Amino acid sequence: MLELQVGSLKRNLKDYEKNAKVAVASASLTAMDGTVYKFNCDMNVTLLNPNEKAVGKEDWEIGKHYFRVKTAEAIEEAQKLADGENH
């Protein structure tokens, strides 16, 4: 879990000030067959001024659905591997 607390500003943010990278994650693992997997991920946020509305509500819903499907696929693949004792 990542919790951010953003203080208030006396002025509105300019467009180039609104985007920030707040976290970077890296992981690597070695499978039992010796294959090395490396993963990198950045967490970016976009801050809005109080008088601005977030756009892309539909995009957010599409993204949530995409990750639901990907999660279900990963669980299904893990179940297949576990059933075949190939984990």
Q: What pLDDT was estimated at residue 27?
A: 93
Kindly write down the DSSP assignment for every residue of 50-86, as one continuous string.
TT-----HHHHHHHHHHHHHHHHHHHHHHHHHHHTT-
Looking at every residue in the chain, the average pLDDT score rounds to 83
Using one digit for the tens of pLDDT, what is the confidence trace for 24-74? 999 999 999 999 999 999 988 888 888 877 666 566 777 788 888 989 999
